[in-house]
Amino acid sequence: MKKILLAGLAVLALGGVSMAFAQGDVITQRRAGLKRMGEHMTAMKAVADVRGPGAQFSGTLDEMIAFYQGLPARFPAGSGTGDTKALPTIWSDNAGFVAAANDAVAKLQALRVAATTGDGAAFQTAWQAVGPTCGACHRTYRAR
């Protein structure tokens, strides 16, 4: 009986360790992804600033749209501790967090449309509408 209990505890302990690794991976990967999104925004800014047409960014924007559609899934319960700036509000107000992600997706989809029309002024306006959706989420759900 005692042996079985000990074996059970060992399995639990191992499970705990692998879970800690998995959470670390999730944090590392989402942070790398978000960093990449920031770089995409900077690259597009250079074109938006001079009202370039932005057609070359359609692939980038497909990637960004997919990333933000999947963003909430990159914050599983329990991934709020460790090397992360994720705030507990992500889980206590998860509906708000998902809505903030959806808002970013909607603005990115509009930017994707503007990029394909080849209208530089429209690209600039649509690019400017994306940044506030990043900031809105960061204000409530990310530590400074």
Interface with ligand HEC (CB under 6 A): 27, 30-31, 34-35, 37-38, 41, 71, 84-86, 97, 100-101, 104, 130, 133-134, 137-138, 141-142
Residue 72 in tokens: 């909430």
Q: How far is the CB of 93 from ligand HEC (least distance, A)?
A: 11
Of 27 and 126, the one with the shorter C-beta distance to ligand HEC is 27
Of 86 and 115, the one with the shorter C-beta distance to ligand HEC is 86
Report the half-sphere exposure of 18 (CA within 13 A, side-chain side). Answer: 5
User: Helical H runs in 50-93?
Assistant: 58-69, 89-92
Q: How far is the CB of 138 from ligand HEC (least distance, A)?
A: 6
Of 101 and 122, the one with the shorter C-beta distance to ligand HEC is 101
Of 122 and 130, the one with the shorter C-beta distance to ligand HEC is 130
Q: How far is the CB of 24 from ligand HEC (least distance, A)?
A: 11
Sort 29 into a burial class: Cβ within 10 Å, 0-12 / 13-18 / 19+. Answer: exposed
Q: How far is the CB of 7 from ligand HEC (least distance, A)?
A: 35
DSSP 87-142: -THHHHTHHHHHHHHHHHHHHHHHHHHHHHHT-HHHHHHHHHHHHHHHHHHHHHHB
Q: How far is the CB of 27 from ligand HEC (least distance, A)?
A: 5
**Other Cβ atoms closer than 10 A to 96:** 14
Of 100 and 122, the one with the shorter C-beta distance to ligand HEC is 100
Residue 22 in tokens: 């998995």
